[in-house]
Structure 1
Amino acid sequence: MNQKRLRSTFLEAIHSIKDYIDQHPLEIKTISALIHKTHSQIGINLLHQGFRQLYGTGIKEYEIRKRLEAAAYLVQKDELTMQEITAKCGYSSQSSFVRAFKEVHGITPGQWRTRHVPLLFS
């Protein structure tokens, strides 16, 4: 296989894995599972290196950011309790969820809900 085609195959695999994360942000998955689910033919080390080079962040960091973006949407919908959202996002404790949420969004989930949920009686 020539070098150019090989690079193209790896790029497709990396894009495919990113797309999978984007479409399934609340699904907790290992790197090996991501490779398997997207039927990608790429090694773990090359995937890590290529992902960082293409997107400027590691896969796990990207996955966590996407999960917490999905969490912000769930918080905003105001249909689930914080405890339910914490579990849905794969966190075992509410305090670790709040800490991660604040790191990504700059405010706590409670503050996010207050700012983004419309008042029923205005």
Structure 2
Amino acid sequence: MSKRVFLTLPDGIADDLERWAASEKNKAATLAGFLVEEAVRRAKEQGKIPPDDGSFPHYDTLAELVRHNRNKLAESEKFSSARLKALSSGDKPTEVEILRLALILGRTEEYVLSLKTNPDVSEGSTN
């Protein structure tokens, strides 16, 4: 179900929005909804939107985070099953994997970086 939000825009912005929407054969409300959705998505990706209070369990290690969210990560198709298994076992993630984990799981990059990796796994391992 979608929620309704009512916005008050300055006249000039509202006029520009209406012209933009008309040029794309769209309604201003539809375009405004799309623009807000994109802005919220970007803010979330940048870690500007905090998670819901209590909505995320606490993890001490990255391996716990991956194990607990393995199905969601697999569905994203950004990680192979072999790579998920390695991360679940404590393998150190690459910088790209850290970003992907944060985006897919709705966490900040800082949070993912703060999780401990398995000290028994070689620091040079970056599959």
Q: Point out the structure with the larger helix share.
A: 1
TM-score, L = length of structure 2: 0.33
Q: TM-score, normalised by structure 1?
A: 0.34
